Chain A
Amino acid sequence: MIKLVNVWFKYVGGREWVLKDVNLEFRRGEVVVLRGPNASGKTTLMKVASLIYKPSKGSVVVNDDMDVWSRGGDYLVKYRRMVTYVSEKPVMFKGTVYDNIAYGLTLRNYSLSEVERRVYEVSRKLGIEHMLDKDVKVLSAGEKQVVSLARALVLTPAIMFLDEPLTNVDEDRRKTVINALKEFKSLGSGLVIATHLYEGLDEINPDKVVILKNGVVVKIT
């Protein structure tokens, strides 16, 4: 469980608060949809909750461990490995699709055979097993988005934060992605999805919809 307690956030050198006194909870097995206009703070909120950004004020509590940032070091990495954030604009490491999907597993020192098994399994689920040997330079924006989703799914995090996961994905592949997310949820993991494209996501049955405006949570339904 990840809990944001009275979280305020301002970028270094920034004047305005991007998040203002946010209190939210994200749990395993729960689907939360974050909605709000552009620049309402959705991406920042997800980056704070996934322990990429340190809140300027307030604390992030993981599994009742108060303020993981003050503990830092190995603890921070341990908690970061429980969650994964997938960006709206997918960034790729140099190399092949396989290299990209295997990256997080390699960091965790999985054996080569286990890495291979997991990469092939997730690639089959997302229908990208035919492109594993491709250089990422030749991928379309939609393909990159699916690869970045595979790169996160393969780690089976407790909670996954997805920023506009369907934006560049074409119609044919959208169904496959939604099915993979449904399966991910059925395994007991949590999903937090920031999106303006709600179409199709109702199939995942969100438990909670959070509306953000100017960095403030205005409504939770």
Chain B
Amino acid sequence: MFDEVVEISVRSILISGSATLLASLFGLPLAYLAVVKAKVRSFVPIAESLSGMPTVLIGLLLYMLLSRDGPLGFLNMLYTPQAIIVGQAVLVVPLIIATSFGALRTSYESVGELAITLGATDLQVMLTVLKESLNRVLASLMIAFSRALGELGIALMVGGNIRGETRVFSTSIALSVAVGEFNEAVKLGLILLAVETSLIVCVRMLQGLER
């Protein structure tokens, strides 16, 4: 049983970590684009409203896309860890845009313009802005990771809670409660809580470093 708890913990962290990384590849460039191009800034409020999107809704949409008869059924991704990664990435992209936009904008308005005056190319300006706001951007990614780790709807609908393959913290807790194994559910809940608390402490420390 102990081995299974470790396995679920490691799998949950790997899946949500990969989802956060995947989401950051889209979210951070989009947030930066919104900072430098005033004309496309209107998608930031849209991202803010999508940050609270119900996970079951994303799960349902993704299920319809990935099911055998769906348009992406040929990928055979349903009930795989990859499906959960894609779903959680879709979930946290708007959150990453919404939370990193402010940090990148503040940084761009001060050091971005300074870098331009000192002869930086567009790429050098972007790297400078990212470097200067790194702690706040990392804090934003940790918030996204935390949201991905704690969600249930996507993991359940497109992951299927398959033992040894797609079972993660949230689905495992839900299953334990459903079959009356409350001790198991509490144990996993405490581990999830410990991971989430450590993340919040890290976010606070990074934000503290900025002051």
Contacts and interface: CB of A to CB of B under 8 A. Distances in A.
Interface of A: 12, 50, 52, 74, 77, 80-81, 84-87, 91, 93-94, 103-104, 107-108, 151-152, 155
B10 interface: no
Interface string B111-138: 1011111111100100010011000000
6 contacts: A12-B38, A84-B119, A94-B131, A104-B118, A107-B121, A155-B118
Interface centre among B114, B117, B132 (most CB of A within 10 A): B117
Contact of B118 (A12, A74, A84, A94): A84
Interface of B: 38, 110-111, 113-121, 124, 128, 131-132
Contact of B111 (A91, A104, A155): A91
Given A91-B111, A94-B132, A107 B124 contact: yes
Given A80-B116, A86-B117, A104-B118, 11 more contacts: A50-B117, A52-B116, A77-B120, A81-B119, A84-B117, A84-B118, A91-B114, A103-B115, A107-B119, A107-B120, A107-B121
Given A12-B38, A91-B111, A93-B111, A108 B119 contact: yes
Contacts of A77: 119-121
Nearest to A154: B118
Nearest to A85: B117
Contacts of B113: 52, 91
B132 to A, nearest CB: 6
A1 to B, nearest CB: 18
A114 to B, nearest CB: 16
Nearest to B120: A107
B128 A93 contact: yes
Contact of B114 (A74, A93, A155): A93
A219 to B, nearest CB: 28
B38 A80 contact: no
B162 to A, nearest CB: 47
Interface centre among B113, B118, B120, B121 (most CB of A within 10 A): B118
Given A12-B38, A107-B124, A93 B117 contact: no
Contacts of B115: 103, 107
Contacts of B118: 84, 103-104, 107, 151-152, 155
Nearest to A104: B118
A84 B38 CA distance: 25
B23 to A, nearest CB: 26
A156 B2 CA distance: 66
B119 A104 contact: yes
Contacts of A74: 121
The 3 nearest A-B residue pairs measured at CB: A81-B119, A104-B118, A85-B117
Contacts of B120: 77, 107
Contacts of A152: 117-118
A22 B102 CA distance: 35
A77 B118 CA distance: 10
A52 B111 CA distance: 13
B124 A93 contact: no
A7 B91 CA distance: 47
B211 to A, nearest CB: 11
Given A12-B38, A107-B124, A91 B110 contact: yes
A127 to B, nearest CB: 22
A74 B122 CA distance: 10
Nearest to B131: A94
Nearest to B110: A91
A213 B124 CA distance: 36
A154 to B, nearest CB: 10
Contacts of B132: 93-94
A80 B121 CA distance: 10
A94 B121 CA distance: 19
Contacts of B38: 12
B74 to A, nearest CB: 41
Contacts of A84: 117-119
Nearest to A13: B38
